Amino acid sequence: MDYRADGTARAALLLFGGWRAPSEVGGRIHRAQAVAPYEPGAFARRELPCLLPLLTPLVGHLEAVIIDGYVTLDGNGRPGLGWALYEALGRAVPVVGVAKTAFRGSPHAGPVERGGTRALYVTAAGLEARAAATLVRDMAGEYRVPTLLRRVDRACRAAP
């Protein structure tokens, strides 16, 4: 997600052929005209309306969705953005959350070390968390954040 000073936002989606794919096979951008205000711990209220137009038409064709953030916020399963997305998609598509910072009270998030000194934190719904962490660890790219996750972030920020 990229939030703009004018109150709009951009959400980006990259499609790729497998977890180890070095590049995308397609992509989409959604331009949201009105975005809910920021609320700590309530990203779903702000981001879900931007993500659903990109993902809903693809539900039957996706192996999984990867988001920048947490699926669950603690070991008790307190829902985060990823869980809200999983529910909104009818639990039909696994959602994997990849966060760059540890969330307070999130020892349940599987740390993944890749090409850097700081870990990524992986949570999941519809897919076993340990398996999700392995898939993220094995994604293409030599840096801490996998190549395709870096590209989707750049696509979002560069979108008009």
Per-residue pLDDT tens digits for 109-135: 877 888 777 889 999 999 999 999 999
Task: Measure the CA–CA gap between 92 and 152, rounded to whole angstroms.
Answer: 23
Signed CA dihedral, 35, 38, 39, 40: sign only: positive
Instruction: Give domain limits for the chain.
Output: 2-158
Query: Tokens 């996750």 sit at which residue?
Result: 149
Helix (H) / strand (E) element for 44: namely helix 43-55
Correct CATH for 2-158 of 3.90.180.10, 3.10.560.10, 3.20.20.60, 3.30.2170.10: 3.30.2170.10
Residues 6+ apart with CB under 8 A from 107: 75
Average pLDDT, the chain: 92
Report yes or no: 38 and 46 within 8 Å, Cβ to Cβ. yes
Query: Tokens 């999941």 sit at which residue?
Result: 124
Quick: pLDDT tens for 77-120. Answer: 889 999 999 999 999 999 999 998 887 756 778 778 887 778 89
For the sheet with 2-3, list strands across it.
2-3, 9-15, 26-32
Task: Report DSSP state, residue 38.
Answer: P
